[in-house]
Structure 1
Amino acid sequence: MGEAPPGRCGFEMLAADVHSHEILDSDSLREAVESNRVAVCRRETVDGSERCRWHTDELGESGGEVLEVDHDRPLVLDGAELSGFEFRDEQSLGEARLRFADLSTADLSGVDLSGVDLSGADLLGADLSKANLDFADLSGADLPEANLSEANLSSANLSDVGLLGADLSEANLEFLDLSNKDLSNANLSRAFLPNTDLSEADLTGADLSEADLFDADLPEADLTGADLSEADLARADLSEVDLARADLSEVDLARADLSEADLSSADLSEADLARADLSEVDLARADLSEADLARADLSGALLRKVDLSGADLSYGDLSAVQAADAELRDATLERADLSKADIFDADLTGAALYGAILADIRLNANTKFGDHYTGENDTIERATWTLRQIEQLSRESALPERVTEAVVERKTRRRRHHWKEGNYLSWLRNAGFGLLTKYGESPGRVVGLSIGTILVSAGLFQHTGIRDTTSGGEVISFALQNTTAANLVGKSLYLSTVTFTILGYGDLQPVGRGQLVATVESFFGALLMALLVFVLGRRATR
């Protein structure tokens, strides 16, 4: 190590071939001194000081003073006292060395610091807004509460940098390694962070609104309380990240990896999650209304009480999801895989289910279906297919009432379609079948119609007359008033019953117009008994 001649500064600096990360403590510095790896400043001293103007602590604010830079030889200001120094806008420092310099509260806004060595520098509260720090070495620098808004930090070395509370809004942080960094409460709104490594970083309370995090690496980062509204997280790796209660509304998470992340109670409304990996993610009570989840992988995810109303889940993998009490009203689930899903108490009213895989689904009586494909442009084929699937699932889950509802709805849709298409004969056949048997689902309706037919026919027989062959062929009726009311009612009911059941013992016979009544009743009796056998047999085979 050389000594400074009289009248020269003599401030000891690390030699050019010593990297600042090598000087970890006083012992490291002593070794550097002993091995002649420390240089001295040979600048002229200022009046009243033993140091040059750059190494005295009496410099103060410069009022925009320009540092004279010889671009043939780097400016060396290691350890310089530049606290509060105001650099002139757009000034270039070439490849200057400012290692361990005191730049606290200095104004470096707009300054070209590309390639500058600022390792170990104190930049507490410094203004670096719009500064160009491309390829700058900031390792070990202290930057808490520094203003780095709109600064270019692309490819800068930020190892061991303190950024607590720093303002990085609109800054260019592309390709940086920010893993394990403490960025809590940092302002990163509209920051440019594609391909940046933020794994295990502390981002609690950070403002990442509208930030570009395309393909960023964020596994195990702490984003508790972070604002990610309208951020671009497409293709980002967010595996195992804690995003509980996070605001991710309208965020672009297309193709992002969110596997095993905690998104419970998070707001993901209208978010783009197309093709995202959400396997085994905790989404309990999350808001995913109107979100785009087309082709997303949600296999094994916890969706209890999640709001997916209006969400697009087409072609998605929802196999084995726990979706109890989930809100899926008006969601699109066409061709999605829902095999082995638990949808106890879930609401799928109006959901589009055409082509979905619904094997081994678990549902209960409180699982809501209905209003599927009711729009003017929806096809009868999609509605019919969906209702058949609901019918089958309900049958497998021993829910006979749900089976009946699905069958009736399917047949009713088909009947309306016949009318709309002008197939009136098919419409009439379906309408009659529905009226008589509720499309084969109501034996009670058949029995009721049968009893009604017997009673109506009995009333008509009382007025048309009944011949009693057991009493000499006497005709009795209300008009003739030749018998008691009780006797007439009893005989009319007996005649109507044996006529309906086509037994016809012959002891009582209809007369006059009563013969027409008996003919019609016999026809309906044969028809309704056949229908009753059909309905009972249908229910017995389920």
Structure 2
Amino acid sequence: MESHQGRCSYQNPDGWSCDQPSGESGLCYWHDPKVDKSNDDVKDKVEQWAAAGKPLDGFQLARTNLEDLNLVNRGSKEGYLCRDVDFYRADLTDAHFFGLDLRGSSLMKAKLIGANLHCAKLDNCNLLGASLSRAKLENIEWGGDLKQERAARRAIRGHKRKESVMYCQEAEEVCRNIRKQCEKQGLFEMAGDFFKREMRFRRYQMPLFSVKRGISKLVDVFCGYGEDPIRVVGFSIFLILVCALAYFFLDTTGGHPVYEGVSGWKFYALEFLNSLYFSVVTFTTLGYGDISPVGLARFIAACEAFLGSFTMALFVVVFVKKMTR
């Protein structure tokens, strides 16, 4: 016998209010997390609810059997709303979630084997321990962060060391799980993105001023853990320009016959171009010998030549890795 008569008090982020009768908690059967639905046959009822045009936001479906659940909004470009839903340990094997808006939902330890997640929205989702074997992951809208990533960054900003390490470990595990599934399906671009995220959260677990963390940060800055060749190109251009400026102000290149009769800003423009030319030649270790550094510029040239040869080798490794996947 119900001790409280009335409508469910749940209201979704858009202002929609549930019209189902509530129990003692003030929430209905679908929105009350205390109602155990693990032994109930709810699959057809969930599909009927969505087909009726009502949002599934806030549904509490932990441990339910939803195998082959179909939540595809056919005939519409927008998927059904299924935000902040609790699918903890739910059996979602072969579920059809094409285009489904799952933002903020918990899929923790959910069984998503063979599930179709094409074009689904998973921003701020909890995917810790989710089984994604054979799940279709193409064109997923991951949004800014998954739940563990967002919690980890919040803890880091709040200088909560123990909490941040815990969330970073969870975020690393989630990113590794997604990365492995993407690699198996040939989604290498997505796999590369999650590999970078995985390595960054591994780095955040290291002591702040440790050598390992410093090296990891450098690898990330220079090449995005081997996934971002454009960073190598950017660093190369930056180094060439910085060294060119150093040669220009140190008057490394000296006068040149081509400058005869040239004065004012034109002279300085030609001198800078000469410095830029010398920087490129030094960076690429061509060594034409038509310009020789003097004084302090010799040490700058030596460092640039060393970094240049290293950077070019790094670019080849990163580029080949990306192209041969």
Tell me the TM-score normalised to structure 2 length.
0.72
1:365 and 2:139 are equivalent in the alignment:
yes
2:65 maps to 297
> Which protein has greater RCO, CA pairs closer than 8 Å, 6+ apart?
2
Query: Cα gap change, 1:440/1:260 in structure 2, threshold over 3 Å: closer, same or farther?
Result: closer
Q: Give the distance between the partners of 1:260 and 1:411, measured in 2 at CA.
A: 39
2:23 corresponds to: 230
**Residue 454 (structure 1) aligns with:** 240
Spell out, residue by residue over 1:165-192, the C-alpha distance to the aligned partner (whole angstroms, 9 max, x if none).
xxxxx6xxxxxxxxxxxxxxxxxx77xx
Q: Is the counterpart of residue 407 in structure 1 residue 182 in structure 2?
A: no
Query: What is the rounded CA distance, in whole Å, between the counterparts of 1:249 and 1:451 in structure 2?
Result: 56
Q: Deviations over 1:109-167 (max 9, x none)?
A: xxxxxxxxxxxxxxxxxxxxxxxxxxxxxxxxxxxxxxxxxxxxxxxxxxxxxxxxxxx
SS in 1 for 2:147: coil
How far 1:510 moved relative to its partner? 0.9
C-alpha distance in 1, partners of 2:270/2:57?
A: 71
| 1:380 corresponds to | 168
Structure 2 residue 294 is matched with structure 1 residue 511 = yes
Alignment partner of 2:177 out of 384, 389, 404:
389
List runs of 5+ in structure 2 lacking aligned partners.
Answer: 9-18, 73-78, 156-162
For the residue of structure 1 that corresponds to 2:44, the secondary structure is coil
Give the TM-score normalised by structure 1: 0.46
- Could you tell me how far 1:321 is from its partner in structure 2? 0.3
| % identity of equivalent residues | 26
- 1:261 corresponds, among 40, 44, 48, to 44
Q: Which protein has the bigger helix share? A: 2
- Alpha-carbon spacing, 1:367–1:397, altered in 2? closer, same or farther (3 Å): farther
- For each residue in 1:284-339, what CA deviation from the matched residue of structure 2 results, as whole angstroms up to 9, or x when unmatched? 85544444323221110112345443333222211110112223233222222111
Q: Distance in 2 between matches of 1:249 and 1:463?
A: 70
Shift of 1:383: 0.8
1:407 and 1:316 mapped to 2: Cα distance?
27
Whether contact under 8 Å (1:310, 1:330) holds in the other structure is yes
Alignment of 1:2-17 (within 5 A): none
Judging changes above 3 Å, is the alpha-carbon distance between structure 1 residues 493 and 294 closer, same or farther for their aligned structure 2 residues? same
From 174, 197, 213, the counterpart of 1:427 = 213
Distance 2:279 2:304 in 1: 8
Whether the aligned pair in 2 keeps the contact of 1:228 and 1:248 (CA below 8 Å) is no
| 1:301–1:321 CA contact under 8 A, matched in 2 | yes
Amino acid in structure 2 at the alignment position of 1:455: L
- How far apart in 1 are the matches of 2:291 and 2:300? 14
What pairs with 1:475-494 in structure 2 (closer than 5 Å)?
A: 475-476=254-255, 484=262, 485=267, 488-494=271-277
Task: State the alpha-carbon separation in 2 of the partners of residues 393 and 409 from structure 1.
Answer: 15
Q: For residues 1-57 of structure 1, what are the alpha-carbon distances to aligned partners after superposition, in whole Å with 9 as ceiling and x for unaligned?
A: xxxxxxxxxxxxxxxxxxxxxxxxxxxxxxxxxxxxxxxxxxxxxxxxxxxxxxxxx
Change (3 A) 1:357 1:307: same
Seen in structure 2, the aligned counterparts of structure 1 residues 444 and 403 have a Cα distance that, compared at 3 Å, is same
Shift of the alpha carbon at 1:209? 9.2
CA-to-aligned-CA distance 1:48-73 (integer Å, 9 cap, x gap): xxxxxxxxxxxxxxxxxxxxxxxxxx
Instruction: Judge conservation of contact 2:108–2:127 (CA < 8 Å) in 1.
Output: yes
Q: Which amino acid aligns with 2:217?
A: A
Aligned residue number for residue 334 of structure 1? 108
Q: Is the 8 A contact 2:61 2:85 kept in 1?
A: yes
Q: Report the secondary structure of 2:142's partner residue.
A: coil
- Counterpart among 87, 92, 106 of residue 313 in structure 1: 87
Shift of 1:356: 1.6
**8 Å contact 1:336–1:357 — kept in the other structure?**
yes
| CA shift for structure 1 position 522 | 1.0
Q: For 1:466 and 1:333, how far apart are their aligned partners in 2?
A: 62
Alpha-carbon distance change, 311 to 538 in structure 1, aligned in 2, over 3 angstroms = same
Q: How does 1:58-207 map to 2 (within 5 A)?
A: none
Cα 1:343–1:454 change in 2 (3 A) is same
Pair 1:487–1:330, CA change in 2 (3 A)? closer
- The separation in 1 between residues aligned to 2:308 and 2:106, in whole angstroms, is 48
Indicate if the aligned counterparts of 1:465 and 1:510 stay in contact, CA closer than 8 A: no
**Matched letter for residue 372 of structure 1:** K
Deviations for 1:433-484, whole angstroms, at most 9, x for unmatched residues? Answer: 22222332322221122122223323332343456xxxxxxx527xxx8685
Contact 1:263 1:284 (8 Å CA) reproduced: no
1:247 and 1:330 map into 2 onto residues whose CA distance is 20
Cα 1:247–1:386 shift into 2, 3 Å: closer
Cα gap change, 1:431 to 1:501, in 2 (>3 Å): same
Q: Against the structure 1 CA distance between its residues 456 and 330, is the aligned structure 2 distance closer, same or farther, given a 3 Å change threshold?
A: same
Asked whether the equivalents of residues 306 and 323 of structure 1 are also in contact (C-alpha less than 8 Å), the reply is no
